[in-house]
Structure 1
């Protein structure tokens, strides 16, 4: 059982390294945001700041990540510790996303968003933009089409699930 926890912990660390590799693989493999996350991870691992990663730096980073997840310090990751680590990362991402959103939308710069600030910057009248058949209502398909139209207009080239 302990071996399974150790293997799972190793897998978590490997997944982090894989996400770094994917982020550096170009827009088709994570896009601009993935590249930014990859760059931040690279900087975190490049402890001497020379712009290069050595095996020692990678090993130290992996050991640090494992140690952070191993809350009870027993050298193994339990399912609870792994779940807690995942929640911590999710919470950090949500907090960063919320901060960026407030920075972008906070018209009066009070550090908070009012309903008016959200409405002023939002997608506008959804019915007006998405109602293709003019019946005054939006179907799920019309909403999906409008969403894809907005993505295409932004030039991001996002695909629907299942598209290759």
Structure 2
């Protein structure tokens, strides 16, 4: 149980916070990434608590969260950052989709730059009016759309 609690924050971030809709593109979420959860995670990036998330807030949030992914401090999110019992998950499901989305140089790991400056598919999906601000109403509409799919 202790290992599960330790693993949960890192995997939640790795699997949900940023790389949500990966391969499917900005208009259709990938089931591998649990799009509804990604919309919920967008709320954490609203650092000024004004009820809207700017792209700048989202990217700043990624910078702040990077150390939770790069657990060994080598500058990359890789299989080495997963606890031993979870290393077999590296080549399955969500983590594969995450690498396909963020590992732009295809070296099998995600660098800090690839993570902090990478695609923002959940944000792009939620920002329906393309004003670079995601409001609570847009998040709710995106979640409703995901539930219909």
TM-score range, shorter chain: 0.3 to 0.5
Higher-RCO chain (CA-CA 8 Å, sequence separation at least 6):
2
TM-score (structure 2 length as normaliser):
0.38
**Bigger Rg, which one:** 1
* Higher fraction of helix: 1
TM-score (structure 1 length as normaliser):
0.35
* Higher fraction of strand: 2
